[in-house]
Structure formats: structure tokens, C-alpha cells
Structure 1
Amino acid sequence: MAFTRATGKHRAPSRLTRRSAQVAGIAALATTGVIGGVSSPALAADSEALTAGSTGLTQAVAIDSTLADQIAAQAKAQQHQADLAAKAEAKAEAEAKARAKAEAEAKRKAEARAKEAREAEARAARAAERARLNAFHLPVAGSQVTTGYKSGGALWSSGSHSGVDFRAASGSSVVAVGAGTVVEAGWGGAYGNNIVLRMADGTYTQYGHLSSMGVSVGQSVTSGQQIGLSGSTGNSTGPHLHFEARTTPEYGSDMDPVAYLRAHGVQV
């Protein structure tokens, strides 16, 4: 009996057709990811190796990890440098403040020393002025006594000399032996033109036979100030200066004029 091949929809697929269908099915499963769950272990392992090798995921993860470490290290180094810079800046600022403080202190001390020096100079000047005012001088600079105190003779009404005579050419400068106030300035009889001063210590000095007078009553004079010029007015035998030291402004209260001047530091 002869066999015939069925035709139409009941025809069985050929071997080639079935093989193609299997391949197509496997491809579809691989595309959807089902092959990982239903395929054989060997096929799944091959698929994983293929997938990992073809996508490069392991390499990307390694690169990302290295880059992150590099960035972290760089950030740490930058932070370290920033900390060092901040410390250096703080140190420089502290040193600058210390220098400014030291300079201010040095300036303050220098100003204090300068002020102290000025004050000392002013005190010295005042002391020198007081010494000058309190110092005593010869009534005629560089002169000498020609007639001593209490010398006797007919020239004096009392019989003795109530003062001393200093050698002085006519017109020589006559000065106050010390600081005082003028209590008399004018004609004094036998004394001629005369000046009487009340001294700072309460004593009195008298200057007679003057050719001219340069002060007036009530005027204050300083030690060594010129008060007149020597002459030979009044009861006089020639130009000279008659000088007396008194306890009062009146005649008769005289005391030794040489001892008086020496007591005030004048060499006579």
C-alpha cells in the first residue's frame, strides 16, 4: 500500500522548521530575561559571562572607586593646606599685634622720657633763675674797696665811715647787689644822688655819689640789674661809689658791708 504525505494544516513541520523555531524561542527568552530562570546552568553561566563582559560594568565600578579616592585625597590635601594657611595667617596676625603693642609701648615710654626731660629742663631753668635772682654781686663789677668800713676822719660828720668806697671811674655801671625794691631814689645830701633798696631778705643797701639814676621808687629790680652810674655828687673828693648795708632805710642803721656781701657769697 502506498503512503502519501498529508497536506494542509495537518502537515507536520519539517526538522529544519522545528530547529529554527527552537532557536527563535531561545532568542526570545534571552531578550526577555527568562532564559536566566529556565535554561540550563551552563547556558545561564554563559549568558552571564557574555552579559558582564559585553557591558563593562566591573571596569566602570573600579574606575569610579579610584576617582572617588583621588578626589577625597585631593580634598584632604586642600583642606590641610587651608588649615596651614589659616594657622600661618593667625600667627602673622598675632605677631603683627604683638609688634604694634611693643611699638606703642616703646612710643609711650619715649614720650614719657621726653616729657620727663622737658620737665627736668624746666626745673633746672627755674632753679637757675632763682639762683640768679638770689645771687649777690659786687655793686661795681671787678672793683675793689678803697676806703674801709668805720674808717675815721673829718670827712664824715659822725667821725667814721658808715660804709665802704668802691673804686669806680665816673660813669661806671652800678648794679643792685641783689634783688629788691627801690625805696629811695634822689638827692641824699652828703650822699649826693643816692638809691636805697629794700632787699629780699629784709635788709637794705645804699648806693651814693651817683652821676645819674636809672630807677624810681617802688620799682622792683633783679640781682645784677643796672640802677645808675657812678659819679662824685654830694660830699665827695672824686668819682667812686659809696656803698652801705643797713638794717633799716635810715642813716645810722649801718652794718659791715664787706661782711654782708661775703655772707651772701660775694668775694670782696
Structure 2
Amino acid sequence: MAFTRAAGKHRAPSRLSRKSAHAAGVAALATSGVIGTLASPAFAAEADRTAAPEDAGLTTAIADYELADEVADQASAQELAAEVAERQAEAEMAAKRNAEARAEAARKAEARAEAAREAQERADREAERKRLNSFTLPVAGSYVSTAYQSGGALWSSGSHSGVDFHAAYGSTVVSVGLGTVVEAGWGGAYGNNVVIRMNDGTYTQYGHLASVSVSVGQSVAPGQQIGVSGSTGNSTGPHLHFEARTSAEYGSDIDPVSYLRARGVNV
């Protein structure tokens, strides 16, 4: 890393340049006669003895100059060290700010992700709530082949207590809504049948099944399979007999088509 100095700051000449200047000064003194010739050792020795005060003063001056030079170098080194420390502190502070910014960005990203997860969970719960509160046909894509309260000798009461949905043998039969199984198995004229107490307090019945796949006390969801269609009991062919009731007892039947339509099912 390169460091620059503020305008107007100047360093003293280096020790080498100052020593060169000292040497030049000494040479000038020698040529001017202040210091005698250096060629003759005897004369130099004599000069040392006779000019001791002047030599001592010059030596002291040079020593003082060198000391000042060392102090200036130390001051420059300290100044450079302080500048390096300042730059390092600035770099550390910048790194700290960057780390804090990254941590804050990560925290915000996590908060957004958490909010998105919570929103998705709420949406999932709402979708599940709607699904559980929804109703569906007992046989997918089927239609009513015999209407409610149709008359005839086929029914002991003289009229049809439910509706018949068209269903080939072995078709999947599902619960029309959320509820609990209260009857599962043989039901006399109904053959193999299932009765479910719905969550809204009403009851639905599924008759003439070839087989049953639920048991009493089991909770069932809308669209969950409870058996397959057949022609057991008092039946002239495969179909699903479906009833809607206000209680589990025979004779409390209500119009199954109106019941399903009131709960959003297209019949």
C-alpha cells in the first residue's frame, strides 16, 4: 500500500545526504586551512594537539547534528506508523460496517422468508379448512338415475327415500363431506352400507355397496373412499343408493339433491 503525505509537509534530508554534506563541509574546512592537511600524520597529530578546542567543537556539532537526524528519523517513523495504524483502523471499521450490513441483510432476508412461510402456512390451513368444509359427489362424475321419492313397489315405504347415482360395479364411493362413521356393514335391504354423521350434524347413507372400506368410529374427509359400488341387498343392478337424513334413523330422510346443492355440489 502506498502512503502519501499532506501538502506542505517536508522531511529533513536523509542521514546519508546529511553525512555527505558533513563530509563536504569538513573537506571545505580542510582546504581553507581551518583544519590542517591530512597528508602528514605527524602534522595531523600536531594539529590534533594544537587545535583540540576547535576539533572538539566540530565533533560536538556533528554529534548533535546526527542526534537531531536520528530524532527526525524516529519522528518520521512514528508518523508513518501512526498513518499505517490510522489506515488499518479505517479498514477494520469499514470491514465491521460491511459485516454488520451483511448481517442485517441476512436478518431481513430471514424475516421475509419467515413471513412467506407463515403466509404459506396460513394459506395451506385455509385451503385445508375449505376442503374439509366442502362437499362432493359420492361417485365422481355421476348423475342421478332414480329421483328422490319416486313411487313404486320396489320400496317398502312406497317411495324412494333417497336417490340412486349411476355407478358401474366396483366404482369408487366416497364420503360427500367431513364426518364420522356410525354404521359400516350389512344393512338389510340396503345391503352393505355406510352411515356417516356429518360435521354439521346431518347424516348420509351409502347403500348396495359391493364392499366397505371403513369402520365405525373412523373419521372421514370429503372425497375419502368408503367402499365400492355393487348390487347387494334389495337392488336390481349395480348403482349407489344415497340418502341424506336429519338423524341416523330411517324415516328422517331429506331431499339428497337439495342437500348437496345447498353445500355447493353441482348435481
TM range (shorter): 0.7 to 0.9
Distance 1:158 1:88 in 2: 101
CA RMSD of aligned residues (A): 2.2
| 1:195 corresponds to | 194
Distance 2:93 2:53 in 1: 63
Residue 177 (structure 1) shift: 0.7
Residue 172 (structure 1) shift: 1.1
Distance 1:217 1:64 in 2: 113
**2:149 partner SS:** coil
Distance 1:196 1:67 in 2: 113
Q: Summarize deviations over 1:101-130 as a string: whole Å, max 9, x none.
A: 222222222333333333333333333333
**2:142 partner SS:** coil
**2:217 partner SS:** coil
Alignment-mate amino acid for residue 94 of structure 2: E
Correspondence list, 1:239-258, <5 A: 239-258=238-257
Residue 51 (structure 1) shift: 4.5
Residue 142 (structure 1) shift: 0.9
Distance 2:186 2:76 in 1: 109
Alignment-mate amino acid for residue 79 of structure 1: Q
Residue 77 (structure 1) shift: 1.1
Distance 2:70 2:53 in 1: 29
| 2:76 corresponds to | 77
Correspondence list, 1:166-177, <5 A: 166-177=165-176
| 2:158 corresponds to | 159
Larger Cα-atom Rg: 1
Q: Does 1:56 align with 2:42?
A: no
- Number of paired residues? 219
Alignment-mate amino acid for residue 199 of structure 2: A
Residue 53 (structure 1) shift: 7.4
Residue 96 (structure 1) shift: 2.0
Distance 2:183 2:148 in 1: 22
Alignment-mate amino acid for residue 234 of structure 2: N
Distance 1:68 1:187 in 2: 118
**1:212 partner SS:** strand
| 1:146 corresponds to | 145
Distance 1:255 1:129 in 2: 28
Residue 218 (structure 1) shift: 1.8
Q: Summarize deviations over 1:31-77 as a string: whole Å, max 9, x none.
A: xxxxxxxxxxxxxxxxxxx9547852343243234323322321221
Alignment-mate amino acid for residue 247 of structure 1: T
Percent identical residues = 67
| 1:11 corresponds to | none
Alignment-mate amino acid for residue 116 of structure 2: A
**2:250 partner SS:** coil
| 1:28 corresponds to | none
Gaps of 5+ in 2: 1-48
Correspondence list, 1:102-251, <5 A: 102-251=101-250
Alignment-mate amino acid for residue 240 of structure 1: H
Correspondence list, 1:12-27, <5 A: none
**1:56 partner SS:** helix
Distance 1:133 1:68 in 2: 95
| 1:6 corresponds to | none
**2:103 partner SS:** helix
Q: Summarize deviations over 1:142-199 as a string: whole Å, max 9, x none.
A: 1111112222333223332221110001111111111211111233233222211001
TM-score by length of 1: 0.74
Gaps of 5+ in 1: 1-49
**1:236 partner SS:** coil
TM-score by length of 2: 0.74
| 1:42 corresponds to | none
